[in-house]
Amino acid sequence: MNTDFINNIGLTHYLVLAALLFMMGMAGVLLRRNVIVLLMSVELMLNSVNLTFIAFSKYLGILDGHIMVFFVMTIAAAEAAVGLALAVSIFKRFNEVNIRFFEHLKG
Amino acid sequence: MTADAFLFWFLAIVTLVSGLSVILLSNPIYSSLCLAMTMVGISALFVTLNAYFIAGVQLIVYAGAVMVLFVMVIMLFDLKKDIQAFTKGKFSGAVKIASVGLLAGLVVGAIAMSVGLLNEKTADNPVTAGTGMETTKALGQILFSKYIFGFEALGVLLLVIAVGAVALARSKGGTHEH
C-alpha cells in the first residue's frame, strides 16, 4: 500500500477535510427542520471556509487569508446574534422552532 | 506514521465525526455540544497550520462566545427531543443528499486537479519560517494598514448588529412584552 498519502500531509488533505465539513453544513441546512440547528449548520460551513483560508495562507506563504478569517468570524458572530434574536422572536410568536410552521414568507 | 501525520488524522477524524453528529443528532442540545467540539477541533487544526493567534481567537470567539449564545437560547426554548428532525419538503431527502454528494464530488475533484498546480509554489514558505509572535505582529501590521477600511466597516457592522438585535428583542413577539 502506498503510505505516501498517509504520511505526507499537504494542502490537499486540509482542502478535502474543509470540503467535507462544508458539505455536512450544507446537508444540515437542507435536511434539518429546527431553526437553531440550521443556524449551527451555517456556522459549520463558515468554519470550513476558515480552514480553507488558513490552509491556503500557509501553503502559499501569505498572511491575507488570516485577515479574511477575522472578517468571516466577525460576520459569523453578527449573524449568530441576529439569527438567534429572530429565532427567539419567532418562538415567542408561534411557540415553535420548526421551519415547517413558518410558511408566511413562501412565494 | 510521523507525529505530524498522526495529529492531522486524529484531529480530522474528531472534527468530521463531531461535525456529522451536529446534523444527525435529533436533540438540539447535543447538536450544539458537538458543534463546540468541532470548533475546538478546527482550532487545533489551525495550530497545526501555524496560525496560533487565529486558533486562540477561534477558541475564544466561537467555542466560547458563540456556542454559549446557542446553548443559552436553546435553554430559553425548553425544547424536547425532535421526533421529526428532518424535513419533508417538495424534494425528498434522498434527492437532497444526492445533490450534496454530487457537489462534494465536484469540489473534491476540482481540488485534486488544481492542487497539482499549487505544489510548485509551496517550497519556500515565509509563514512557516517565523515564530508565532512574528506572524501575529505581521498580522496586526496588515490589519491596520492594508485592510484598515475593512476593519472600520466591521466596527460599523457590529454597531448596527447590536442596535438591530436590541430592536428585534424589543419588538412585538420579542423577549420584552409590552
Structure confidence by residue, pLDDT tens digits, B37-66 = 999 999 999 999 988 999 999 999 888 888
| pLDDT grade for B19, boundaries at 50, 70 and 90 | very high
Average pLDDT, chain B: 82
* Count of the separate structural domains present in chain A: 1
Nearest to B169 among A23, A51, A85 (CB): A85
Look up the pTM and report it.
0.85
pLDDT of residue B95: 82
Nearest to A97 among B8, B77, B150 (CB): B77
Shortest CA distance from B143: residue in chain A: A67
Using a CB-CB cut-off of 8 Å, the residues of chain B touching A78 are 157-158, 161
What domain range is A91 assigned to?
1-102
pLDDT of residue B107: 81
Give the residue from A45, A54, A103 with the most B CB atoms within 10 Å of its CB, the best one to mutate. A54
* Average pLDDT value for residue range B4-28: 91
Residue B54 identity (one-letter amino acid): I
Given a cut of 50, the residues of chain A with pLDDT beneath it are: none
In a domain, A1, yes or no: yes
pLDDT in tens, B106-152: 888 887 777 666 555 554 454 555 566 788 888 888 889 989 999 99
pLDDT of residue A90: 80
In a domain, A54, yes or no: yes
| CB-CB under 8 Å, B87 with A32 | yes
Q: Which residues are within 8 A (CB) of B132 and not within 5 positions of it... i.e. 6 or more apart? A: B50, B52, B53
pLDDT of residue B85: 64
pLDDT in tens, B82-110: 666 676 666 777 887 888 888 888 888 88
Q: Which of B126, B58, B142 is nearest to A64 (CA)?
A: B142
Using a CB-CB cut-off of 8 Å, the residues of chain B touching A99 are 87
Residue A76 identity (one-letter amino acid): A
Nearest to B115 among A15, A43, A86 (CB): A15
Domain ranges of chain B: 1-77, 134-170
In a domain, A107, yes or no: no
Using a CB-CB cut-off of 8 Å, the residues of chain A touching B50 are 58
Give, for B66, the enclosing helix (H) or strand (E): none
Shortest CA distance from A67: residue in chain B: B143
Conformational region of residue B14, where left means phi above 0, alpha means psi within -120 to 50, and beta covers everything else: alpha
The enclosing domain of A68 has a CATH number of 1.10.287.3510
- For chains A and B, count residue pairs whose Cβ atoms are closer than 8 Å: 241
**Model confidence at B178: pLDDT above 60:** no
Residue with cell 450534496: B100
CATH code of the region B1-77? 1.20.120.1200
In a domain, A41, yes or no: yes
What does the block give as the cell for A60?
502559499
